[in-house]
């Protein structure tokens, strides 16, 4: 029943694919506004520490399960623990990323709309940008269309397969994204009045942090590395035995953290230069930034128009390379565990995911008065995925690797059969983090919103 599995073609391809999954809307949309809400540099510091000591060990645990089993997120547990019931839990980590994709696609659609808008030089001052985002997402049809378009692009990449789809896209988009964001940082910090934004990111404001902020920073590290969702597991299952999990792991985490910092330095100085409140929440890049572009276009029309295009192109690419990693989890499951072809699996899942996404999309507009526990449907599904499903998956992977998998197998994967010197040295630290620190951290992240 098992179809022949494809593999990534070498170290750089693996890092690009992992980084493609990790670097996404989380870095460029979520991170800057969280930094703005929770005290600037103080939040950034906690985020970096959490990425190293909490997120990275979970990343390793997930990769170890994937590569060892050479299987999808459900099948992996049947391969590694044939007598146990672990695969039932594994099934949840197949469904979870698909649920994420139902609303991730919606935001992907927004970024598509903003790219179109910037291509038409729509931020050049002729139209008042205040309230544009709100008008767009509540307009009913238009966001459904862009969301559908985004879903089609995601499906096309996945139809191409591991090598000609995922690898081919991520290999060029990842380096390009870094170049683009660096360029935007230079533009942003050179704006008059940008210095206050740079200082905001450089000087820790501890009073703005709070426990909520610490938990949000840990949760962000988690979300940003795409953990607990079976995406890392699935991508790692396409790794060759000679590639190093240890090296690809820290490289991915470093790229992810670096990109988040660059995104913050791209967004914040511009926001300060335009005199906008940095703590304006999720609307930061879709509301404040267009306003900033509009302001800047008065002084430097062409340049600011081009920067707007490059910025929203970056947002779109970041969103796309993350979205494909979530769809791949479901497609790998269906093609390996049932007789379904890749084409059928992709089309079926994409259709269902788009249809569910319609609900979230409408919930930001015509259905905005429908609430669950006092929050809108869109926020509710985001909360459920980030605060319930992701921690669940993270716990599953760390406990499986920390307590259930035979120790020699874990060691073998982490050190490539003892051949990698640095990973041999750091193995005891990894084992400690994965058994004790990560599970406690995960529980803290998920419980803080209820306690404080």
Catalog residues that contact ligand PHE under the rule CB under 6 A.
21-22, 24-27, 97, 100, 223-224, 226, 229, 231, 322, 325-326
d(CA 143, CA 140): 6
Contact in structure between 39 and 271 (CB atoms under 8 Å):
no
d(CA 350, CA 341): 14
Query: What is the distance between the terminal CA atoms of the chain, rounded to a whole angstrom?
Result: 50
d(CA 11, CA 7): 11
CA 243 vs CA 139, 228, 285, 292, 395: distances in Å: 48, 22, 37, 44, 26
Alpha helices (H) along 191-230: 195-202, 210-224
CB of 50 to ligand PHE, least distance (A): 14
Task: Name which of 24 and 122 has its Cβ closer to ligand PHE.
Answer: 24
Task: Name which of 23 and 362 has its Cβ closer to ligand PHE.
Answer: 23
Alpha helices (H) along 364-389: 377-384
Task: Name which of 29 and 272 has its Cβ closer to ligand PHE.
Answer: 29
Task: Name which of 102 and 326 has its Cβ closer to ligand PHE.
Answer: 326
CB of 448 to ligand PHE, least distance (A): 19
164 CB-near residues (< 8 Å, 6+ apart): none
Task: Name which of 220 and 295 has its Cβ closer to ligand PHE.
Answer: 220
CB of 165 to ligand PHE, least distance (A): 16
Place of tokens 């005290």: 39
Task: Name which of 26 and 441 has its Cβ closer to ligand PHE.
Answer: 26
CB of 204 to ligand PHE, least distance (A): 23
Task: Name which of 100 and 410 has its Cβ closer to ligand PHE.
Answer: 100
CB of 22 to ligand PHE, least distance (A): 5
CB of 265 to ligand PHE, least distance (A): 17
d(CA 60, CA 63): 5
Task: Name which of 41 and 229 has its Cβ closer to ligand PHE.
Answer: 229
d(CA 394, CA 149): 31
CB of 214 to ligand PHE, least distance (A): 19
Per-residue tokens: 166: 């995922």
How many other CB atoms are there within 10 angstroms of residue 62's CB atom?
Answer: 34
Contact in structure between 220 and 47 (CB atoms under 8 Å):
yes
CB of 113 to ligand PHE, least distance (A): 18
């Amino acid at each position: 029943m098992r179809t022949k599995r494809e593999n990534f073609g070498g170290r750089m391809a693996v890092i690009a694919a992992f980084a493609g999954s990790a670097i996404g809307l989380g870095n460029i949309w979520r991170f800057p506004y969280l930094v703005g809400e929770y005290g600037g540099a103080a939040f950034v510091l906690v985020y970096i520490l959490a990425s190293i000591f909490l997120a990275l060990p979970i990343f390793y645990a997930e990769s170890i399960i994937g590569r060892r089993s050479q299987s999808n997120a459900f099948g992996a547990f049947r391969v590694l623990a044939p007598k146990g019931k672990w695969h039932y839990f594994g099934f949840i980590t197949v469904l979870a990323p698909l649920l994420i994709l139902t609303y991730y696609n919606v935001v992907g659609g927004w970024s598509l709309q903003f790219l179109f808008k910037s291509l038409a030089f729509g931020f050049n001052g002729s139209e008042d940008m205040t309230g544009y985002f709100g008008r767009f997402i509540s307009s009913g049809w238009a966001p459904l269309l862009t969301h559908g378009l985004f879903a089609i692009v995601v499906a096309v990449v996945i139809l191409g397969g591991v090598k000609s789809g995922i690898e081919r896209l991520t290999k060029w988009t990842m380096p390009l994204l870094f170049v683009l964001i660096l360029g935007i940082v230079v533009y942003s910090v050179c704006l008059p009045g940008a210095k206050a934004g740079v200082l905001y990111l450089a000087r820790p404001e501890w009073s703005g942090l709070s426990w909520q902020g610490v938990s949000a920073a840990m949760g962000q590290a988690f979300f940003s590395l795409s953990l607990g969702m079976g995406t890392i597991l699935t991508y790692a299952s396409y790794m060759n035995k000679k590639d190093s999990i240890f090296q690809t792991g820290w490289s991915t985490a470093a790229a992810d953290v670096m990109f988040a910092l660059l995104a913050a330095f791209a967004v914040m100085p511009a926001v300060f230069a335009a005199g906008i409140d940095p703590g304006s929440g999720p609307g930061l890049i879709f509301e404040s930034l267009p306003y900033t572009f509009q302001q800047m276009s008065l002084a430097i029309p062409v340049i600011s128009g081009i920067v707007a295009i490059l910025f929203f192109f970056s947002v779109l690419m970041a969103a796309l390379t993350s979205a494909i990693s979530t769809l791949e989890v479901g497609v790998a499951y269906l093609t390996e565990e049932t007789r379904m072809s890749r084409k059928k699996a992709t089309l079926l899942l994409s259709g269902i995911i788009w249809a569910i996404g319609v609900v979230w999309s409408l919930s930001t507009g015509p259905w905005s008065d429908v609430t669950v526990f006092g929050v809108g449907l869109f926020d509710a599904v985001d909360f459920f995925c980030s605060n319930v499903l992701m921690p669940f998956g993270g716990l599953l992977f760390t406990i499986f690797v920390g307590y259930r998998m035979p120790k020699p197998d874990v060691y073998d994967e982490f050190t490539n059969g003892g051949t990698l010197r640095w990973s041999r040295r750091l193995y005891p630290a990894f084992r400690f983090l994965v058994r004790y620190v990560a599970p406690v951290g995960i529980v803290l992240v998920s419980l803080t919103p209820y306690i404080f």
